[in-house]
Structure formats: C-alpha cells, structure tokens
Amino acid sequence: METKGKTKFLSVWHNVKYSWALKPKTSFSRNSPVLLLGKCYHFKAEEDEGQTEACREASDEEGVMGNVEDFRRDFGSRIWLTYREEFPPLPGSSLTSDCGWGCMLRAGQMMLAQALLLHFLGRDWTWSGAMSLQPLDTETWTTSAAKRLVASLESSLQASPGPSDPVVSQRQVAGSGEEAGVHTDGGFHRTLVSWFGDSPSAQFGLHSMVRLGLAMGKRAGEWYGPAVVAHILKKAVEEARDPCLAGISSYVSQDCTVYSADVIDSHKAPASAAAERPDVTSSSHNSQPASASPDSRAVIILVPVRLGGEKTNPDYFNLAKSFLSLDYCIGIIGGKPKQACYFVGFQDDSLIYMDPHYCQSFVDVSTSDFPLQSFHCPSPKKMPFTKMDPSCTFGFYSRSAQDFERIKHELTELLQPSAKEKYPAFIFVQGHGRDYDLSASLSPEKREWPFIRDPRRSGSTVGDFVLL
C-alpha cells in the first residue's frame, strides 16, 4: 500500500512539474526568416513584397514559403515524443514513467522519427490533422492540473489509489474529445507513430531504448547523453524487425570523424534484406522511392560532437544554422545542461525546438485507431543559442551512396574553419575506420559501445566525453 501511495504521489508531482512548465506563446519576428529542417518561412503579411537576404541565402526559391499557416502545418506534422506515465514497467526496473530522466531518449526518438518521415513520406509531407491541434494553454492546463493534484493527493492520503486515476482519466477524456472529428492520414503515418509506442513490442519505443542501454551499463532512471543515445539509435535501427525497415540503416561517427567508406558500406543492403524488402512507396506525398535501388539502403548519419568546453563556442552558432537549413538534416539532439530537447530550426539567434518535458498519459498504440494528437506538438519553443549545451549530436539522412557523395561535399564546405574557428566540428576521411586501427586495442564491448567509461581511468566527464 505504501509503494502504491508513493507511485501515485510521484505521478502527480511529475504531472504538476512538467505540465505546469508551459510558457506563454513563443514570439516570432516578422522581419526575419524562420528555418525549419531545410525549409524557409517568412511571417510577413502577404502584401509585403520582398524577402530578406538571409532567407534567399538559406534556401532556393522552391524552399521559400510565405505565411504562418504553412509553418504551423509543417511544424505540427513533426513527430513529438514526450514524457509518459502509466506504461508497462521498463526493462530491468519497476519504473512506469520516464519523467525527470528520459528527455534525451525522447529527443533521440524524435530525430529518428524525422528520418523515417523523410525516408517513407518525403520532406513535403504534412499531416492533415496538424492545423487542428489544440494549443497548450497555460491558464487552462494549470487550473485543471491543480484540481487533479488536490483530488489525487486526497486519494493518496486515504491510501485508496485505484484504476479510476483522476490524473489519467480526465486527461484521456480531454484527448478523446480533441481527436473527435479530426481526419487523419491513417495508413503509414499511424504505423510509423506506432513504432515509437511505450510498450515492449514497439521497435523504437522507450522499452527498446532502455533495453539496448542496459548493454552499456545504462539503466532506466539514469541520465543518457547525446552520444550514448546516438549509439542506442544505431543499434535499434539494426535490430528493427519490420520488413519495411530493411531499406534503412544507421551510422555513428567515431571521434568526430565520418569515415566515408563505412558510410558507403552502410548503404549496401545485405542480399537477404534486399530479397525480402516489401514495396514501401506507400504515400503519394513521397516523390522519391524509399531507396535508390533494391540492393541499396538509406543511411541515418549521426555525428556526436562537443562544440566547446563548459559552454558552446559562439563560433559554431553559424554552423548549426547552416546544418538546420539543409533539407537532409534531421535535426540536433542536445539541449541545456541536463535538460535535453530536439532542435529543428532557428530564427535569428534563437533555436527552435520540440520539448519532451511534458508528461502525458500512456497511449496504447496496438489499437487500430489510437489517438494521434498527443504525438504532434502544437507549440514550438525558442531558446538562445548561447544557452545550448556544447554536447550534442547532429543528424543527417542520406538516401543513397550517390546522395552521400553530395552530402559529404556540401558538409565539407560548411565545415571549413573560418578565421575564428581553429578546428572543424567534425571531419570526413576517406577509407574505413578500421584502416586507422582505432579499435585494435579495445575490448569487444568497447568497440560496440565506445562511450563506456573505463573505471580505471582518471578524469572528469562532461556529457559523454572524458576530459583528462
């Protein structure tokens, strides 16, 4: 009984702590372009002529959009994955919520979801329900949360928690009401979202991420850094069971170095996978096939970096802007110190991000008509570049080996050090990583999980990096 009361109290506390963390609406300037994962938007009135030089430089003519509604539709179509509660216990623990510790895993899930959207539906795809999303109104939610808090605390004090949890039931009723009348695209979009459900069977769900983390000494409830999450994502893609995912793989750079031959090898599909791959051109929105040919795979390229010491070096701000202006960029997982988020764009000197620090109820994605609203974010947030934690992971999507050659050329140009920057954030090198004998002296576990720290080594850690 005491354990149930404690669990109940923690659930209520998480609900208040994270649901109340809703700030007023994010402000955007009408005088500056907004970049969102390679697409440029301008919020000037339609009768205003001209566009800023920054917008022209950031995107070609086809990428320039003209109104707020297009941005809202695009942002609302990105997959939003947040804290959840009341899901089945996570592997190796009795935890049924990731509130307070799972934000980096959620940010990584969102990056992977964007890569899959690009792969299967294309960058121009938008969800038909994006414009029907209800804003997360501060006053409304804090008032209702306060009522739920009082009711739940009274129930806990009476030691009578039961299945009719007011925190869950009222929120689910509200969600069901919001879903009513919303036409969804159904089909593949819903399938993609279900891969990220909070259940042991979901291929990219939190349970799978935690299970993979256990192999490198990370347990549910502990902090996961962006580099560790990059390796977990890679492993999750490798182990994906759905035949539709046979046409996609993942690559993680080594020591801020992308080895071109390793990426090219990742583009090559195993013979068995090529033979079993189904037809996944399931959306009319996708103007390109899911991969270039049956014997080729797309590759998600993940590059963990550190952009400074204790704080991000301002010299790298423009580089991050350049990356987020590319249509094959799938975003950045990082955030503030010990508070992760998923960066998807920018305006002027502020990053635009999707915030996982919002506690929602468990959704059973095994049902054919599960509600989609809670997997899409109605409210973008902004954060100054100066608050960005230097430890982060860049993500890129390469559709084919030929596509990678173009990406490598473009990124190499952007990575050229300026007069201020002494070192590039990362580099491309010809050949395989094994050609440089980087892992000859490493144990098998260290090769698989290069960020496992050797307890015999001295030094302090910052994020996922060891400072000696």
**From residue 161, how far is each of 3, 7, 9, 154, 312 by CA, in Å?**
11, 10, 10, 10, 46
Quote the pLDDT of residue 43.
Answer: 85
Secondary structure of residue 441 in the 3-state scheme: coil
**From residue 290, how far is each of 117, 178, 244, 302 by CA, in Å?**
10, 33, 10, 19
C-alpha 393/C-alpha 409 separation (Å) is 20
Residues ≥6 apart with Cβ < 8 Å to 42: 33, 34, 51, 52, 55, 64, 65, 66
Q: What are the structure tokens assigned to 56, written together?
A: 């022209």
Torsion 240-242-243-245 (CA) sign: negative
103 is catalytic: yes
Which amino acid is residue 358, in one-letter code?
Y
* Sequential pLDDT tens for the chain (468 residues): 455 555 455 555 554 555 444 455 788 888 899 999 999 998 875 555 554 544 544 444 445 555 789 999 999 999 999 999 999 999 999 999 999 999 999 999 999 999 999 999 999 999 999 999 987 644 334 334 444 444 544 444 444 433 333 333 333 333 333 333 333 345 789 999 999 999 999 999 999 999 999 998 899 999 899 999 999 999 999 999 999 999 999 999 999 999 999 999 999 987 655 555 555 544 434 444 455 566 789 999 999 999 998 999 999 999 999 999 999 999 999 998 879 999 999 999 999 999 999 999 999 999 989 999 999 999 899 999 999 999 999 999 999 999 999 999 999 999 987 666 678 999 999 999 988 865 554 544 454 444 444 444 444 344 443 332
Q: Which letter, b or e, does each residue of 150-183 get, where b requires 16 or more Cβ atoms within 10 Å of its Cβ?
A: eebeebbeeeebeeebbbbebbbeebeebbeebe
Catalytic choice (103, 329, 341, 392): 103
C-alpha 466/C-alpha 85 separation (Å) is 33
Catalytic choice (74, 98, 165, 355): 355
Per-domain boundaries in the chain: 1-21+29-44+63-151+189-270+295-435
34-36 and 339-347 strand pairing: antiparallel
Q: What are the structure tokens assigned to 225, written together?
A: 């850094």
231 is catalytic: no
74 is catalytic: no
Q: What pTM, to 2 d.p., does this model score?
A: 0.79
251 bridge partner residues = 301
Catalytic choice (14, 42, 231, 357): 357
